[in-house]
Structure 1
Amino acid sequence: MNVEFTFNTRLGINLPDLNKKWEDLDITAQGDILAKWEQYRGNIPDRIKDIEMQINDLQDQLYRESNFTRSCELNSDIAELASIINDLWIWYRTGDEVQVSHF
């Protein structure tokens, strides 16, 4: 196959790493890649839900926190998790726009 799926530690999912341009892959390879990606892509909503729970926990801590430095740290952690969610949604939508090319 002309793609490897590599685990991204920041996002917590496997991401495709194409060795060729999508258009240069034959139909069979494109179909295989899309099928494999759908398996990984299907885990993204659950991953987002887990991160949202982490954000909720951090927000609860922030609400109770009186130390300014610790509040800034919590805000930073929340912002990073929100950034991860944004990136996960981008990857999730990527599957909608990619199709098998018919020559």
Structure 2
Amino acid sequence: MEQYFLYNSRLGIPLPAINGSWEEYDIDTQHAILLHWEKIRGSIPDRIAELEKTINLKQAQLSDESNFIRSCELNSEIAELASIINDLWLWYRTHQDISLDKMHQ
């Protein structure tokens, strides 16, 4: 299945990397791809929870930080982690309907 997915280091999960038209794949391959995606998709909330823990740690550091430059760095890191979480939720929600529709065909 790795040929149909590409690891995204920013998000920390593999993402679909389908070349060509979905209809070009036979039904067994389509189902295998969707099953694999559902496993990945199911791991997204755990990945988000990991990132939220990191954000909480950085926020705790920020509340004790007196160095302005370091405070700015922490704020930037928190913003990037929040952006990653947002993107993960988009992948999680957007492809939920697609997966369900395709698996029931």
Range of TM-score over shorter length:
0.7 to 0.9
Corresponding residue number in structure 1 for 2:42: 42
For residues 14-33 of structure 1, the aligned pairs below 5 Å read 14-33=14-33
Between the two proteins, what is the percent identity of the paired residues?
Answer: 58
Alpha-carbon distance, 1:93 to partner = 1.0
Which is helix-richer, 1 or 2? 2
Distance 1:56 1:21 in 2: 42
Contact 1:11/1:84 (8 A) holds in 2: yes
**Where has structure 1 moved over 4 Å in runs of 4 or more?**
none
Give the conservation status (yes or no) of the 8 Å contact 1:38–1:95: no
The structure whose residues are more often strand, as a share, is 1
Q: How does 1:1-103 map to 2 (within 5 A)?
A: 4-98=4-98, 99-100=101-102, 102=105
Alpha-carbon offset, residue 30 of structure 1? 2.2
Tell me, what secondary structure is at the counterpart of 2:66? coil
Gaps of 5+ in 2: none
Unaligned runs of 5+ in 1: none
CA deviation profile, 1:6-53 (whole Å, cap 9, x unmatched)? 111111111110012334444333222111101111110000000000
Aligned residues: 101
Root-mean-square deviation (CA), in Å?
A: 1.7
Question: Once structures 1 and 2 are overlaid, which stretch shifts more, 68-77 or 12-21?
Answer: 12-21
Alpha-carbon distance in structure 1 between the residues aligned to 2:35 and 2:73: 40
